[in-house]
Amino acid sequence: MSTPPKTSDNFIEELIAEDLANGKHGGRIHTRFPPEPNGYLHIGHAKAVVINFEIAKKFGGTTNLRMDDTNPSTEETQFVDNIQNDIKWLGYTWVGDTRYASDYFDELYQLALRLIDKGLAYVDDSTAAEIEAQKGDIGVPGTNSPFRDRSPAENRRLFEGMKAGEFTDGSKVLRAKIDMAHPNLLLRDPVLYRIKHEAHHRTGDTWCIYPLYDFAHGQSDSIEQITHSLCSLEFRHHRDLYNWLIEALEIFPSRQIEFARMNVDYFITSKRKLKLLIEEGVVDGWDDPRMSTLAGLRRKGFPAEAIRNFCIDTGVTRRDNQQTLDLLEFKVREVMNRDADRYMAVLDPVKLVITNYPDGQTEQLDTENNPEDESRGTRALPFSRELYVERSDFRKEPQNRKYYRLAPGKDVRLKSAYIIHCEGHEEDEAGNVTQINCTYYPDSRSGEDTSGVKAKGTLHWVDAATATDLEVRLYEPLFTDPTPMDHPDRDFLEFINPNSLTVVTAKGEQALASAGVGESFQFLRQGYFTVDPDSTTDRPVFNLTVGLKSSFKG
RNA sequence: AGACCUAUGGUGUAAUUGGCAACACAACAGAUUUUGGUUCUGUCGUUCAAGGUUCGAGUCCUUGUAGGUCUACCA
C-alpha cells in the first residue's frame, strides 16, 4: 500500500465504537450505500461508498448496496447496471444481492397501514399548493389540514382506494400526523405517499402509489437491519423524522449519522447539472473524461486505488470542505508512478536528423520499462538517422544557463541512446522550425558512454521510420473556476473552460499501437496516458490522465 | 425570523480526550537523477473573537462573530 493506514478514529468510528462498547446489536455492524438509480456515480458518491464500506470493514461488518428506487419518473435500469459496475471497480463487494427499495413496496404499504391504524397518519385531499401553504414558514407555525382528523377507519379505506387506483395523480396523499408547529419543518405532517400512475423500472404497473424518501429510506434500513446508516449532512433534519418513524412503527432502530460531503475544486457533483452538461453538448456523455463521474475518471485513466486513497486520506468530519485538485492528482501520480511502464511519444513532433549517422542504418537500444520496478524488465528501441523530438524542446537561441534542452551548440542526451550536438535548424518562410540538424557522439551510447561529454538534459524521442501515429486527447479542468457553483450572480456554464479538450496527433513508439483499452503508460517527461475505448487498430487513442509534475520554469 | 450544524497553516486532516499544536498536499530552497519525473533534506506558516474556570485550554463554560443546512407529492 502506498498510503499508510490512518491511525486515529474519525468521529463516526468513535460513535460506532461507543455503540459497540455498549453492546448494541450484539456487536454487529452493518452499513449500506443507497444510491438513486437516476444518474451515474460521481466523485462525491465515491466518498460515501468508501466511508460506508471502509468503516464496516474496520469493525468486521458488512455493507449492503440498495437502489433507492421510489420515484418511477426518473429511474432507469441502465443506471443500476452502471452503479454496480462502478462500485465493483472501486474495489468493494456488497454482501448478498443488490437490494431495491422497490422490493419492499409491499412491506412499506403494510407499515403505512400500521401508522394509519395507530392514528399517526391520514389521507389528505389538499392540493400541493394548499399543503405548502399549511406548512407555515421558518419561525412561523403551520396550520392543520382540514382533513387531519379523519378516523383511522376512513383513512384506511381511502388509502386502500389510493392503492387500488381509484384516485387521480395529486388528488390525495398520505401524511404523517405529527405537529404543524414543529420547529423542524420536516415534522409538520410530512407527505409519506403520493399517487403516480406511472410504470416503475422494476415493478411495472403493479403500483400507482409510491412512498417518498422519508417513508422508504429509513424503513428499508430497518428491514435490512442496518445498524449504522451513514449519509451526508443535508439529511440531518430528516433524522428527526427517521427516528420518529422508528418509534411510531416499532421497527428495527437503525442509527443515522451524517458527515460532510466532499467537494473537489473544478468538479461539480450535482446530478442535475451533470445531466445538463450532456444535454447542452458541453461533454460527450456520462463517461466523458472531463466529467466528475467515476465512469469519466476511469476512462481518463484514474486508478481506483488512487480515488480510494484520496477519499480515505481526506478524512470524515462535519465541516464544509473543499479539496484541492492537487491532492487528487498527487494520489493519481503516486499510484501510476509505481505501476505505469515508461514509453516515449512526441506530442508535437519536429524532425531531427543526425547528420553523421549512416543513412539506412538502424540499431536496437535497450531501455528500462519502469525505473521504479526492475521486475518490469527492458525492451528494445529502434534508433536511426531520422527521429522526432518535441518542438518545445528546441530553441533557436539558448535562453540562459538554466536551459539544458536543444539549441544551437548545445549537447543533450537522447534517453537510452546517444548524446547529440545541435548544429542548427531549417525553417519555412514563416519562421517555423521544420527540421533540427545534429551530430552524435558515437562513443556516448547509453550504458557504455566513454565520450566524456556531459549533457545536462535528457530528451525523449522516437525513431521516425518506425513511429506510429497516436491520437492524444489532452485535458484541462472543465471549468475555469475552482467553484463554478459558488457564484450566486452567475451561471456555472459561464465558467466552462474552452480548452478543456485538445486533440493532437502524436508520434509514438510502435508498441503503443497495440496497447489494450484501459492500459496506462507514462509518456516520458510528459505525463500518464491511458488508452481510450475509441481506439481502433488504425488509430490508437490516448487520454491524458494527469501530467507529470514539473519544476522547469521557462 | 426559528431550529439544527460547523469553526485548527494557502488546502485538508490530527492532537494520548485538560499537558511541548502534528501529518499530508501546495509553495519555496537544496541534494540525487540518462524523465526539469521519482527519491531525500530543509524552509514557510495554524487554534474565529472577547471574557471566564484551571498550575495549565485547540480541547471545558459564557457571550459574540462568521459560514452551512432546512419551508419538493425529489432523493
Protein residue with the closest CA to the C1' atom of nucleotide B4: A237
How many residues are listed for chain A in this entry?
Answer: 554
ipTM for the complex shown = 0.96
Nucleotide with smallest C1' distance to residue A315 CA: B13
Residue A3's pLDDT is 37
Whole-number distance in Å between A497 CA and B35 C1' = 29
Residue A1's pLDDT is 32
Sign of CA dihedral A395, A401, A404, A406: positive
Domain layout of chain A by residue ranges: 11-259, 264-341+470-547, 348-460
Calculate mean pLDDT across residues A183-204. 97
Nucleotide with smallest C1' distance to residue A371 CA: B38
- List the single range of A18-27, A37-46, A223-232 with lowest mean pLDDT: A18-27
The C-alpha angle A539, A543, A544, rounded to 5 degrees, equals: 135
Nucleotide with smallest C1' distance to residue A405 CA: B36
pTM above 0.90, yes or no: yes
Give tens-digit pLDDT for A138-189. Answer: 989 999 999 999 999 999 999 999 999 999 999 999 999 999 999 999 999 9
Mark the nucleotides of strand B covered by protein, meaning any atom under 7 Å from a CB.
Answer: 1-8, 10-15, 17, 24-28, 34-39, 67-75
Does A529 have pLDDT greater than 80? yes
Whole-number distance in Å between A358 CA and B27 C1' = 49
**CATH topology assigned to domain A264-341+470-547:** Glutamyl-tRNA Synthetase; domain 2 (1.10.1160)
Does A4 have pLDDT greater than 90? no
Report the distance separating Cα A314 and Cα A308, nearest Å. 10
Residue A144's pLDDT is 97
Residue A400's pLDDT is 73
Mean pLDDT of the residues in chain A: 96
Give tens-digit pLDDT for A356-366. Answer: 999 999 999 99
- The residue from A58, A135, A156, A261 that is catalytic is A261
What CATH number has the domain spanning A348-460?
2.40.240.10
Helix axes A105-117, A152-163, angle to 10 degrees: 160
User: pLDDT category, A241, cuts 50, 70, 90?
Assistant: very high
- The residue from A271, A298, A299, A308 that is catalytic is A271
Does A553 have pLDDT greater than 90? no
Does A2 have pLDDT greater than 80? no
Does A399 have pLDDT greater than 70? no
Whole-number distance in Å between A186 CA and B75 C1' = 15
DSSP H or E run through A330: helix A325-339
- The single-letter DSSP state of residue A372 is T
Give tens-digit pLDDT for A85-139. Answer: 999 999 999 999 999 999 999 999 999 999 999 999 999 999 999 999 999 999 8
- The residue from A36, A75, A329, A509 that is catalytic is A36
Give tens-digit pLDDT for A299-326. Answer: 999 999 999 999 999 999 999 999 999 9
Active site residue A261: yes
Residue A5's pLDDT is 43
User: What residues contact residue A491 under an 8 Å CB cut-off, 6+ apart?
Assistant: none
Question: Domain A11-259 has what CATH class?
Answer: alpha beta
Whole-number distance in Å between A432 CA and B47 C1' = 57
Nucleotide with smallest C1' distance to residue A240 CA: B4
Share above pLDDT 70 across residues of chain A, in percent, rounded to a whole number: 99
Give tens-digit pLDDT for A64-91. Answer: 999 999 999 998 899 999 999 999 999 9
CA proximity to A475, closest of A413, A537, A543:
A543
CA proximity to A509, closest of A466, A446, A459, A460:
A466
Does A7 have pLDDT greater than 80? no
**Environment class of residue A273 by beta-carbon count within 10 Å: exposed (0-12), middle (13-18) or buried (19+)?**
middle
Active site residue A385: no
Residue A452's pLDDT is 93
Give tens-digit pLDDT for A496-508. Answer: 999 999 999 999 9
Whole-number distance in Å between A551 CA and B30 C1' = 13
Say what the alpha-carbon torsion angle A440, A442, A444, A447 is, to the nearest 10 degrees: 130
Residue A398's pLDDT is 73
Does A211 have pLDDT greater than 60? yes
Whole-number distance in Å between A314 CA and B21 C1' = 20
Calculate mean pLDDT across residues A371-377. 96
Share above pLDDT 90 across residues of chain A, in percent, rounded to a whole number: 96
